[in-house]
Structure 1
Amino acid sequence: MKAIWNDTVIAESNETVVVENNHYFPHDSIKKEFYKSSNTHSVCPWKGQAHYYSLEVNGKENTDAAWFYPEVSELAKGIKNYVAFWKGVQVVE
């Protein structure tokens, strides 16, 4: 799978995990040069507290377009530190 934003591959892996129709990419599969830590957090009742990244690609920014769970509930242990996307990021095979 590939995550693409602004015509650039920002993550690529054959080992994504699908949860609630989102592909979660292993943390080591993201191209870290495009990611900036964000202070945004949200809470999922069964996964835990999500942390966010903003993307910066070719001079454009996509605020809080990626999220991950550094600590998870027992039910979500398969996606600990895996990264998922929204806000116009395309995930394709």
Structure 2
Amino acid sequence: MRAMIDGVLLADADAQHIISIDGNHYFPPDSLTIGTLKESPTPYVCPWKGRARYFSVETPHHEYVDAAWSYPHPRRSAIETVRHDFTGYVAFDTTVVVVE
């Protein structure tokens, strides 16, 4: 699977390494293209996954604010529910990022 925006590859991983949670595809950290994500100060806490870290996506032509997110320290109960450790995996806002 790939995540792309404005012709820029943000992440690329085999489907077997993607974790699906609540309809979002979470890419493993080692599948991300270095330099495309910039940490955002936007705070958010998911009731069942824990504190999220948002990222803005930077392309040569535009910055997409909060277009990606991750859970650097998901709750243990969330990992148990999902049945995979998704620590540091990144999901993308599919209203602006094409994931296929």
TM bucket by the smaller chain? over 0.9
CA-to-aligned-CA distance 1:36-80 (integer Å, 9 cap, x gap):
111112111110011111011123100010000011111333211
Look up the SS of the partner of 2:78 in the other structure.
helix
Question: How many pairs does the alignment contain?
Answer: 92
Per the alignment, residue 99 of structure 2 pairs with 91
CA RMSD of superposed structures (Å) = 1.1
Partner AA of 1:2 in structure 2: R
Q: Using the TM superposition, name which of 72-81 and 42-51 deviates more.
A: 72-81
Look up the SS of the partner of 2:77 in the other structure.
helix
In structure 1, runs of 5+ residues without a counterpart are: none
**1:65-80 alignment runs, 5 A limit:** 65-77=67-79, 78-80=85-87
Instruction: Return the structure number with greater strand share.
Output: 1
Output the CA distance in 2 between the equivalents of 1:67 and 1:39.
11
Task: Give, in angstroms, the shift of residue 6 of structure 1.
Answer: 1.1
Partner AA of 2:64 in structure 1: N
Q: Structure 1 vs Structure 2: percent identity of aligned residues?
A: 40
